Amino acid sequence: MLLLILSSVLTALSMPGFLSGFIIWFALVPFFRSLEGKGPFFGALYGFLYFYFFSAINLFWVLPVLTENLPKVFGKFPGWVGFFVFLLMLLIEALPFAAFGFLYGLMEKIVKRNHFKEILFTASLYTIFDFVRGIGEMGFTGGTLSDALYKDSGILQLAALIGPYGLTFLIVAVNCWFYIILRKSTRPFEKIAFNVLVITFVSYLISLYLPLAKSSDKTIVAIQTNVSQDTKYKESPSYLFGQIEPFLVETKDSVVVLPEDVFSFDLRNSTVAAELIGLCKENDLDILIGAISADSKTYNSVFLVNENGFVDRYSKVKLFPFVETLPYQKIFGVFSFLRGLSYFEPGEEFRPLSIRDYPPLGVQICFESYFSEPSRELVRNGAQALLVCTNDGWFIFDVALKQHFAKSVMRAVETRRQVIQVSNAGITGMIDPYGRILKTANPREFEKITFELMPTKGMTPYSKIGDVIIWFSLGLVVLLLLFPGERTITTRRRIWQ
């Protein structure tokens, strides 16, 4: 059990915002050691506990949102209820890894007869159940092992070919290889340390030879608003507009991008709509601004506003479960108290926005950048650069901000597109098509920052084919389960007296 907990801690320490990403290359070794000889049922328990403890550490920043921020802003439930919701969230996150532990325990003796088979089976099994966490109405990808590599821009380039789950497969395979070294070799710790250094050095070497992305003469002006949630939901439209107006007045002939949910109401019907359009006309601005859109249905949208008015919008397709939409209502209807101001309808498509003489820009809203699908679909539909408009003002710990920004880094490499993230509290920043973080604003400050646009065309293999690694892993696991290979036949010697 101590080995299991050690592995959970090491995996958490490798995540963005904690200690260092290189830890991920050996973080799972104690976990695999703890599973030795446990069989399927204790294996299921150990698999569940490993991911439960890991998630509790990695996602600790969610706890104050549920126990303090949401109760304070919306007043729909007491803080102690939020604590139990947090425990339930961890349970849901960890359940797939009970299945991992069960199948690993079932097949352990068989796959360990061949080191190559052991590595492939273990990496495939982990990758499948990590992928399962991210699908469906309650899908979430926080804590994907590949997140640990967001600063290793060398090895990160593989994401353009195999995506984040391909990198997860690679990470687990290396950990399994080190676990075999631990079992079989003399002086295993020296060998593991040497190989980790080799991997880190190779990644660094690759990063030195990455090409420079070409900038255009176009720029994006991002405004990090840093408005507290309490202020946003209680102050008047005029007050909120007054916070951003000075930045807009001093900006000329530009495309301006603001965060998600700058206004928690339909801006088109507000007293500040005419002022915003007037500023666009006077200063020759095109403004992308997050607000609620309420027609026959309610959406979480980013509006495109210029001198002609509210000319276009992108509405969020992947909604955040429980807060923006209620998943599996018959099962989880009791949790409707977690709702924000209202439930939203999902947008209809991942459609880039066209802005005067700018290249097509693909907008994602908040939670959508946690997933590969929105950015891939936007690129398929013609986006030459990606924008992430988000409201991370709910989070009091910077770990949350770094973990969200790390997802934008992954989206950039997967699609070979520049990603500009514009956040309320931060991190607002620019990532080039190779995943290098080039410029950021200071978190939790009201700041305006200008980014050079780097439009690119073409599609990466991953943009075209997606998560093929999952099908490979699934096929391999099913094949080994159905055809495990020759079983060892034990014979008992009888001694006749």
Q: Where are the alpha helices (DSSP H) in 35-158?
A: 39-58, 62-64, 70-74, 79-111, 115-132
207 alpha-carbon distance from chain centroid: 22
Query: What is residue 67's DSSP assignment?
Result: I
List the one residue out of 149, 189, 151 whose CA is nearest residue 166.
149
Other beta carbons less than 10 A from residue 117's beta carbon: 17
Residue 286's beta-bridge partner residues? Answer: 255
List the one residue out of 290, 286, 301, 289 whose CA is nearest residue 348.
301
- Pairwise CA distance, residues 111 & 384, whole Å: 45
Whether residue 373 lies in the annotated active site: no
Burial of 485 (0-12, 13-18, 19+ CB in 10 A): exposed
Whether residue 260 lies in the annotated active site: yes
Which of the residues 118, 176, 316, 389 is marked catalytic?
316
Cβ(391)–Cβ(290) below 8 Å: yes
CA–CA distances in Å: residue 456 to residues 27, 230, 258: 36, 39, 23
Whether residue 414 lies in the annotated active site: no
Which of the residues 93, 118, 176, 366 is marked catalytic?
366
Position 102, amino acid: F
Which of the residues 260, 324, 414, 452 is marked catalytic?
260
Active site amino acids: 260, 316, 366
